[in-house]
Structure 1
């Protein structure tokens, strides 16, 4: 478990592999390794998200929302997230985690 601060709030994050394979709703199923998730939890437990790290060739990534606070799309439980050049590493960096939290909170990075 690692820590990162965004706008004065502390978040905890970790990467975990899931034993359940990800099966698409349609189309050909290619054998793939286990799905990897980046779990992010705010210190007040209001923002809880699980980001499925995309595999090569995935057009987007999946973000599962558990906590009550998700300003980007209030009430959403599952969101397709655009691919970023920073998500191609097998293990995300603290900088990537800050960017993802900023995206979730709707913070404009100029």
Structure 2
């Protein structure tokens, strides 16, 4: 079954096609007074067109020491069998919207075995 590409960006890494998009989700954090403060969380979703590589990267906010990458696909050479990985902070991850260059770097990091 094919991946829906409507409204999504395309990128090729080492000749392999990927689809990516950014999604915002509200996180509910209760404050001391019992009120709920909505904190937006943004996720970068990257999917290979054959659906063997699927990752969800939580874009870090100021003060975060690392970012979190959730793995759903069966192909993840960096840590086989992992479902969640801590990703080091990069200077390009603080931009409000990721670029194709950042997505290529993230895919390259995921596909490396170091």
TM-score, L = length of structure 1: 0.86
Partner of 1:12 in structure 2?
19
1:106 and 2:97 equivalent?
no
Distance in 1 (CA, whole Å) between partners of 2:110 and 2:90 is 14
Equivalent residue for 1:65, pick from 71, 90, 98: 71
Partner of 2:44 in structure 1?
38
Distance in 2 (CA, whole Å) between partners of 1:42 and 1:22 is 33
| Count of aligned positions | 101
Which sections of structure 2, spanning at least 5 residues, go unmatched?
1-7, 31-36
Give the 4+ runs in structure 1 shifted more than 4 A: none
Q: Judging changes above 3 Å, is the alpha-carbon distance between structure 1 residues 22 and 75 closer, same or farther for their aligned structure 2 residues? A: farther
Equivalent residue for 1:2, pick from 3, 9, 19: 9
Root-mean-square deviation (Å): 1.8
Which sections of structure 1, spanning at least 5 residues, go unmatched?
24-30
Instruction: Please state which structure has a larger fraction of its residues in strand.
Output: 2
TM-score, L = length of structure 2: 0.83
